[in-house]
Amino acid sequence: MIEVLIIAALVIWSAVVVFKKVLPKTVNSVFMALSNVCRQQGWSTLAKWLKPAMASGCGGSCGCAATEDSTQKKAEVQAVKWK
């Protein structure tokens, strides 16, 4: 019985991850609606957890994370000197 619950949780989690990558705007609207329902029921912690992050930078829905810092600098590549 426990195995079935574990496998069901993994399948649901995998489906949510794929759904977020394939249809990001739909996922945001679904999670916002769920967040609003939870807030109306008085479950503020769950509502805050379900509320999607606001898009920043490029406008979202492009595959980049909303929390990712766009000003990150790459390390400068230096030549190796053999002696």
pLDDT at position 65: 58
pLDDT at position 45: 87
From first to last of its 83 residues, what are the pLDDT tens digits of the chain?
899 999 999 999 999 899 889 988 888 898 899 999 999 998 888 888 888 877 655 655 565 655 555 556 677 888 888 87
Angle between helices 2-22 and 24-41 (to 10 degrees): 120
Range of the structural domain that residue 21 is part of: 2-50
pLDDT at position 58: 60
pTM, rounded to two decimals: 0.54
Domain count of the fold of the chain: 1
* 40 found inside a domain: yes
* 69 found inside a domain: no
DSSP label at 27?
A: H
Rounded to an integer, what distance in angstroms lies between the CA atom of residue 65 and that of residue 53? 9
